[in-house]
Structure 1
């Protein structure tokens, strides 16, 4: 293996899931956020989901369909601004514009449901990446504890060997 191959990070989680985690070396992890403004994405996602629930059983007149279409399109623009380029491209490919004229109730509901589903997938990907990162950090801490000499470093060995610990005891 050449030096250039060793310096290339291994992709642990795909960036399409929200956060890409790369292994730089065996003990070092770097997290690359694919969501540049997570709070904004969460707010918009919650709003779109709530709108979908509100209009699910309601009869929509022409004015409400126009307004809902405007909100949907504006939500796509705002979400795109808060995402990395790869997620922007994915969202743009999935969130197709409405045909000319006012969309039907069915078109609006399908578009919103698709957006809500995509956002939920994004959130699950972020949660999975964070869980993996926490797990790796816990493993690293355990390795550090096992390597440290002294009373705090290897408690299992001192307890099983009944070696007295240094210090003053009463």
Structure 2
């Protein structure tokens, strides 16, 4: 299935259309205001999940991991647009106030967060790809609009290989 975006048709490898804005307008807003922060927090969460996956956690470790998770959600939210922040809060259910989360609860919450972040990163990559394709198409269109002979020497001018050396 193909979909037009501006003057660019984009078809993803899975066969579904990739949607992205190719030209900025007045309604466009920054989706991620601090991409480096999102990358750092995302990498930390992923590494933490990899580390705790192989070990059983005692209660102090689970309390600490819960605090890290809650802080990570807050930090990520501060770097995202309001709509993404709301989506993150809807998906990141808070733990029960009265107790320490279990190993499984913590691992599921972290895996869910890592999955959401990977989806965010893939969306950003798709948008960048669409913008690059739109820019390439725009450049090709501009080249096609050049008058005939543009960029070629005029009558009486030597051909490129016949021209003398560089002028200083």
Measured after TM superposition, the shift of residue 148 of structure 1 is 1.2
Q: What is the match of residue 103 of structure 2?
A: 105
Task: Name the structure where helix makes up a greater proportion of residues.
Answer: 1
Larger RCO, structures 1/2 (Cα 8 Å, 6+ apart): 2
Q: Distance in 2 between matches of 1:127 and 1:150?
A: 37
Q: Does 1:42 align with 2:77?
A: no
- Please provide the CA RMSD for this pair: 2.1
Taking structure 1 as the reference length, the TM-score comes to 0.75
Q: What is the match of residue 137 of structure 1?
A: 135
Instruction: Give the 5 Å matches for 1:45-56.
Output: 45-56=42-53
Q: What is the match of residue 92 of structure 2?
A: 95
Q: Aligned pair count? A: 138
Quick check: 1:48–1:116 contact (8 Å CA) kept in 2? yes
Measured after TM superposition, the shift of residue 101 of structure 1 is 1.0
Q: What is the match of residue 115 of structure 2?
A: 117
Quick check: 2:21–2:131 contact (8 Å CA) kept in 1? no
Partner residue of 2:82 out of 74, 81, 85: 85
Q: Distance in 1 between matches of 2:102 and 2:37?
A: 28
List alignment gaps of at least 5 residues for structure 1.
Answer: 1-9, 13-19, 24-28, 154-163
Taking structure 2 as the reference length, the TM-score comes to 0.76
Measured after TM superposition, the shift of residue 151 of structure 1 is 4.2
Q: What is the match of residue 74 of structure 1?
A: 71
Q: What is the match of residue 64 of structure 1?
A: 61
Once the two structures are superposed, residues 39-90 of structure 1 have per-residue CA deviations (whole angstroms, 9 ceiling, x without a partner) of 0000000000000000001110011101000000000000000000000000
Measured after TM superposition, the shift of residue 168 of structure 1 is 1.7
